Amino acid sequence: MKKKDLRNQMTPPKFLAIGFAAITLLGTFLLKLPISTADGTSTPIIDAFFTAVSSISVTGLAVVDTGLHWSGFGQVVMLLLIQLGGLGFMTSATWVALMFNRRISLRERMILQEAMGQYQIQGIVDLIRRVLIYTLIIEGTGALLLTLRFSSMMPLSEAAYFGIFQSISIFNNAGFDLMSQIHGPFAGFASYVTDPFVNIVLMVLIFLGGIGFIVIFDLIEYPKCRKLSLHSKVVLTVTSLLIVIGALMIFVLEYHNTKTLGPLSYPAKWMAAIFQSITPRSGGVSTLDIASLEQSTQFFMILLMFIGAAPGSTGGGIKVTTFAVLIGAVITMIQGKRDVVLYRHRISQAVVYRSVTLTILSLLLLVGASMFLSITESGEFLRILFEAVSAFGTVGLSMGLTGELSGIGKITIALLMFLGRLGPLTLAYAISRKNSKELYRHPEGRITIG
């Protein structure tokens, strides 16, 4: 009886929260083992925990160099955590179940519905099958292209490993890289700022990972049905606008900066500006030194990271659809209308409330975490705020603070990464009591605002 009661209390949000926590602890244990490091020594527990959280939350913030500190075993553990975190452990478990022809229960379908951000349970298993196929195609293509590029610099077997690692990491918007093995500690992709091939491959992987599988499916089916869902229209419109506006802003703000775009040719300036505009979607890799950017650019990137990617994607942030609904609500209020309308579709009041709630919870979380970090860590506040938003948005970009974090700072950032991947609203649902329908309504009151 007790087991049944416990089962009934285990709602999908609770299950997802506990599942992510359990996998994080397992990853911490594996990364703590001496076999996980290049020199055979045991990694401090706090660093192993931070790396496990950063991997499972597909963030990419690193307190130790990924390419130099971790052994092949440790890197594979990180890669598995990235894949699980990017696509969801329930999605991965469903793949295994389908391989063995096991029936997916109603409860498991409900959890998958929550994990994939779907409004209906119908067709959820078929969706997971398609996710598996398209993931293998996209990551495989990315790995092949990057292998071809790296094969001119290293043996083919090593180039293939680099290509596979980078493709999985970038598509899942994790941002971890092995470039330090070629270009030195924490080198990243700065050496490829003028390389069109690498830039285009990485940007496409980040973009596809950031728009989500629902949009990818819609785009693939578009030539047949000539129709996109409202969700896909909003995601593609807002994402495109943010990329274009972001690239223009970065190009203008950094044009004369001798440490970033200044020395580059005119075409390379535009390519670097576009790349830096796409990567705050949750990509986590950059071709410019983030710490050398102008303060105005850094703050603008904070705004892009806070908005983040699309629902059902491997990215974080409050999501582009939430941002679209908020902008729609503002326009509706200014125009004195009643309903938020996007592409001639009325958005339900529940979705508007959910968007406002998610945004306010996220802002409160970031304000509290940033204030706390400003006490525990030394340095400029913008640097601290950038780190906090990058962690919450599961982006992985940093102005160099990650390696300087204190023990309590690492735990704070790790919690932000975990909450950012899970979603503050999902966590709120997970810890809240079961909702009961109100049997009455209070009398309407009036207050003055503005």
Structure tokens at 182: 């070629």
DSSP, residue by residue, 336-376: T-SSEEETTEEEPHHHHHHHHHHHHHHHHHHHHHHHHHHHH
Cβ atoms of 112 and 12 closer than 8 Å: no
Instruction: Give the H/E segment covering residue 424.
Output: helix 424-431
What is the rounded CA–CA span in Å between residue 60 and residue 380? 22
Structure tokens at 251: 């190009």
Q: Which pLDDT value is given to residue 153?
A: 87
Q: Strands (DSSP E) along 248-336, which ranges?
A: none
Beta strand 345-347 with 340-342 is antiparallel
Residue 198: which of 219, 182, 222 has the closest Cα? 182
Neighbour-count burial for 277-297, b at 16+ CB within 10 Å, e otherwise:
bbbbbbbbbbbbebeebeeeb
Residues 6+ apart with CB under 8 A from 152: none
> In which residue are the tokens 């398209």 written?
134
Q: Which pLDDT value is given to residue 226?
A: 85
pLDDT tens-place values along the chain, 450 residues long:
444 544 455 565 666 677 788 889 999 999 999 999 999 999 999 999 999 999 998 899 999 999 999 999 999 999 999 988 877 655 655 555 555 555 655 555 555 555 555 555 555 667 777 788 888 899 999 999 999 999 988 899 999 999 999 999 999 888 899 998 888 888 889 999 999 999 999 999 999 988 988 898 889 888 888 889 899 999 999 999 999 999 999 999 999 999 999 999 999 999 999 999 999 988 889 999 999 999 999 999 999 999 998 887 877 889 999 999 999 999 999 998 989 999 999 999 988 998 998 899 899 999 999 999 999 998 899 999 999 999 999 999 999 899 899 999 999 999 999 888 877 666 555 555 555 556 777 787 877 776
Residue 72, beta-bridge partner list: none
What is the rounded CA–CA span in Å between residue 192 and residue 33? 34
Q: Which pLDDT value is given to residue 175?
A: 85
Instruction: Give the H/E segment covering residue 310.
Output: none
What is the rounded CA–CA span in Å between residue 320 and residue 329? 14
Question: How many beta carbons lie within 10 A of that of residue 440, not counting itself?
Answer: 4
Structure tokens at 27: 């990853």
Residues 6+ apart with CB under 8 A from 116: 88, 91, 124, 127, 128, 213, 312
What is the rounded CA–CA span in Å between residue 28 and residue 155? 32
Gyration radius (Cα) of the chain, Å: 22
CA dihedral 403, 409, 410, 415 (to 10 degrees): -140
Q: Which pLDDT value is given to residue 88?
A: 65
Cβ atoms of 81 and 52 closer than 8 Å: yes
Q: Which pLDDT value is given to residue 212?
A: 84
Alpha helices by DSSP H, listed for 172-294, are 180-183, 196-211, 213-225, 230-254, 266-278
Q: Which pLDDT value is given to residue 427?
A: 59
Neighbour-count burial for 319-350, b at 16+ CB within 10 Å, e otherwise:
bbbbbbbbebbeebeeeeeeebebeeeebeee
Residue 54: which of 436, 330, 415 has the closest Cα? 415
